[in-house]
Structure 1
Amino acid sequence: MAAAWHRLWPVLALGTALLLAGCDEIGLKSSLSPQPRPASLRVVPPTPVAPSAQSLDLARYYHKVQNDLLTRGLLRTDGGGPDTPYSADDLARNFEKIVFYNEYSSGDGLSPAQRLQSGQLSRWSGPVRIGTEFGASVPPDQRSRDQAQIDHYAGRLARITGHAIAPVRNGANFHVLVVGEDDRDFLRRRLQQVIPGIGPAELDLFSNLPRSYYCLVIAVSGAHNPNDYTRAVALIRTEHPDLVRLSCVHEELAQGLGLSNDSPYARPSIFNDDDEFALLTSHDELLLKMLYDPRLKQGMTADQARPLTTAIARELMGQQPQDPI
C-alpha cells in the first residue's frame, strides 16, 4: 500500500472477478449490464458554493503533499529523457504487468493479494465519449481550466491510440466527475444514474474516500463480453492543487482505457507508485498504442499475447521482430 502522500488510483471493473489498486484496476465483475439513460436526462451544472472547513483543510494537506513531492524532484512533467532509457524488452515486460496482472484480490476491498493474479486484456471496442461534470464546490475558474485540459487530453489519447475518443457535452459514456468533500450527495446521485446497479460497497468507497486515495476510476464491462468496457466513471478531487489534479486526469483516463495496473519497474511512467512522473510519458504513450493495436484482442491472456506484444514493442522502438508472427 502506498504511503499517505502517494498516488493510489484504483479502477473498479464491474463485470468478472478482478481486483487491482495503486494506479490499478480494482474490480468486482458481475456481468453488470448498464441500463441506458433517458435521452432527455440533462446534467445541470450546480451553482458554485463556498468550500467547508473540512474541504479547505484537505486542500491545505494536498498542497503540502505536492510541495513535498516537488521538493524531492518528483512529479516530473518532461515525459522522460536521457536519464530514463528503456528498451523494447522493458516496454513489453511493463505492458504485460500493467495490462494483464492484478495486485489486489476480489472481495478484499483494497487488500493486496497474496500473489499477482493474471487476467485478460480488457479495453473499449466502441467509441469513448468523455464528459466532464463538476460539483458545486468547484469554482468557475477551475471548471474552465479543468474542462479545457480534459478536452485537450481526450484528443491526445485519440491520436495516440487511433481509437474513437472525444470530449462531449451530452451522451457521455466515460464520465469525469470533478468533485470535493462537500459534493458527496451529488457524487452518489450521479454514480447511481450513470452506473445503474452499482453496489453499496462501491458507493461507500467513493463517498468516504480516505485522503490517501487521490482519485478513482470505475470501468464497466458489457454483459456479453466481460473484457469490453462500455462505461467508465473517474473521480477527481477538486481539493488537489493544479499539478496533482492534472496528474489524476492523465492517470485515470488512461487507466479507464485499459492500462489498469502499476509496475515498480515501469520508467518513465505514471503507472508506478513512486510519483516520479506526474503526466503521461513517452513510454506510456507506447503502452497505449500497444493496447489498441488491432493485432491484440480482448480476452487474450498474457501467454497468448506475449509473442505479439514482444513484436509490437520492437516495432515501436524501431527494431525488427526477432521471429515472424
Structure 2
Amino acid sequence: MVRVKRVHLMMAGAAMLALSGCMGAPAPTSAPPAPVVALAPPPPTPKSVAATAYYAQIQQVLLREGMLRTDPGSDIPIRAERLTENFLKIALFQEFSRGRGGITREETASPLTRWRDPVRVAVRFGPSVPAEKQATDRARIASYLARLSQVTGHPIGLTDVAPNFWVYIVSEDEREALGPELASLRIGIAPDVIQAVTRMSPTTYCNVFAISGAESHLHRHAVAVIRAENPDLLRLSCFHEEIAQGLGLPNDSPRARPSIFNDDEEFALLTDQDELMLRILYSPELRPGMTAAEARPIVESLARRLVGGES
C-alpha cells in the first residue's frame, strides 16, 4: 500500500496583533472601476507535472484498496470509552515536537488548546491554480466551514476581512517559494516552520500549523498548505483534515476509527466520531490549558452523554 503522511504542527509564541485583510485601494470616484481580467495560469513546470502524476497514482492505489472512504463511518459503532480515549489522544497530544534540532516526529503531551476568537478563514491560491478550480475549492471550503461552525457552536467562516486562518493552495514551485509570503503575515512563524513548508517531503501532501499565545492555550492564527497537484479527493481530504486539526485536534491515532485523524487513510472526510470529538473540544465544560488528567472525567461524562452508553 502506498501511504502518505500529513503533518500537523502547533507552536506557541508571544501575543499576536490582529491582522487586516490584503485588500486593494478603492478606485477613484471620478472614474469607473477597471474591469477585472482573469489571467490564464502559467504552464505547469516539469516538477509540477511529475507531482501531479505522483499524487494521482497515490489516490488510485488508495481507492483500489478501499481507502479514502467518503461516508461518515456510520457502520462502525462508537462507544463512550473509545471516544474518550480517542479524544484525549488526539486533542491532548501532538505528533511533532520542536527543539534545538528543529521539528522532529515525536509524540508529546500538550494542554487542551482551541480558539476563542471567531475563526476567519482566507483562501490563497498560487497563480498556477485555474480560475474554475479556485471557484470549486472556495465553495467546498465555505460549505465545510459552515458545517464545522454548526458542529462546534463556534463562529467559523470564509472571509478576506481580518483573516486569522490562511489556507494556501499552491504548486510545487509556488510552495518552495512561499517563505517570504508566510513571513509577511507577521504572525510569529518561526524559521523552522517555514522550512517545514518550503521543504515539504513528497510523502506529505498537506500540512497545518497553529500559533497560540505562550500561556493562554488559545489559538490566535493558523496556516494550512495544500498541494495544488493533489487530485480531487485527496485535495478535499486535505481540506477536511487540516482545517479540523487547526481547530485544536493536532494529533493522529491508529486506534481512532472511524476518523480522519488516523494516518491509515481509510476515511477521506470528517466522520461521525470526528464530529463528536469537535463537539467535546468546544464544550464549555472544558477549558483551555487542561491536561489529559484534568480533562478525563469531563470528557468521559461528555462522551457518555453524546453516545448514550457507558462503553
TM-score (norm 1): 0.86
Alpha-carbon distance, 1:38 to partner: 5.2
Measured against aligned partners, the alpha-carbon deviations of 1:198-244 in whole angstroms (never above 9, x if no partner) come to: 2222222111211101111110102551x100111100110000000
Gaps of 5+ in 1: 16-30
Alpha-carbon distance, 1:247 to partner: 0.1
Which residue does 1:243 correspond to in 2?
233
Kindly indicate whether the alpha-carbon contact (under 8 Å) linking 1:102 and 1:117 is maintained by their aligned counterparts in 2.
Answer: yes
Which residue does 1:8 correspond to in 2?
5
Q: Of 145, 168, 179, which aligns to 2:136?
A: 145
Against the structure 1 CA distance between its residues 281 and 40, is the aligned structure 2 distance closer, same or farther, given a 3 Å change threshold? closer
Alpha-carbon distance, 1:99 to partner: 0.6
Identity of aligned residues (%): 42
Alignment of 1:132-211 (within 5 A): 132-184=123-175, 187-211=178-202
Kindly indicate whether the alpha-carbon contact (under 8 Å) linking 2:19 and 2:164 is maintained by their aligned counterparts in 1.
Answer: no
Against the structure 1 CA distance between its residues 177 and 277, is the aligned structure 2 distance closer, same or farther, given a 3 Å change threshold? same
Q: Of 76, 96, 101, which aligns to 2:93?
A: 101
SS of residue in 2 equivalent to 1:293: coil
SS of residue in 1 equivalent to 2:276: helix
Kindly indicate whether residue 275 of structure 2 is the aligned counterpart of residue 285 of structure 1.
yes
CA RMSD, Structure 1 to Structure 2 (Å): 2.3
Kindly indicate whether the alpha-carbon contact (under 8 Å) linking 1:12 and 1:219 is maintained by their aligned counterparts in 2.
Answer: yes
Alpha-carbon distance, 1:264 to partner: 0.6
Compare CA radii of gyration and give the structure with the larger one.
Answer: 2
Kindly indicate whether the alpha-carbon contact (under 8 Å) linking 1:45 and 1:133 is maintained by their aligned counterparts in 2.
Answer: no
Measured against aligned partners, the alpha-carbon deviations of 1:64-102 in whole angstroms (never above 9, x if no partner) come to: 0000000000000011032x2221111011000001123
Kindly indicate whether the alpha-carbon contact (under 8 Å) linking 2:176 and 2:197 is maintained by their aligned counterparts in 1.
Answer: no
CA distance in 1, matches of 2:193, 2:166: 16
TM-score (norm 2): 0.89
CA distance in 2, matches of 1:239, 1:267: 28
SS of residue in 2 equivalent to 1:218: strand
Kindly indicate whether the alpha-carbon contact (under 8 Å) linking 2:113 and 2:289 is maintained by their aligned counterparts in 1.
Answer: yes
Kindly indicate whether residue 212 of structure 2 is the aligned counterpart of residue 221 of structure 1.
yes
Kindly indicate whether residue 300 of structure 2 is the aligned counterpart of residue 307 of structure 1.
no
Which residue does 1:91 correspond to in 2?
83
Gaps of 5+ in 2: 26-35
Kindly indicate whether the alpha-carbon contact (under 8 Å) linking 1:270 and 1:281 is maintained by their aligned counterparts in 2.
Answer: yes
Alpha-carbon distance, 1:182 to partner: 2.3
SS of residue in 2 equivalent to 1:105: strand
Alpha-carbon distance, 1:40 to partner: 6.3
Which residue does 2:31 correspond to in 1?
none
Kindly indicate whether the alpha-carbon contact (under 8 Å) linking 1:51 and 1:182 is maintained by their aligned counterparts in 2.
Answer: no
Kindly indicate whether the alpha-carbon contact (under 8 Å) linking 1:45 and 1:134 is maintained by their aligned counterparts in 2.
Answer: no
Report the count of equivalent residues.
299
Alignment of 1:100-119 (within 5 A): 100-107=92-99, 108-113=101-106, 116-119=107-110
Alpha-carbon distance, 1:249 to partner: 0.4
Which residue does 1:20 correspond to in 2?
none
Which residue does 1:21 correspond to in 2?
none
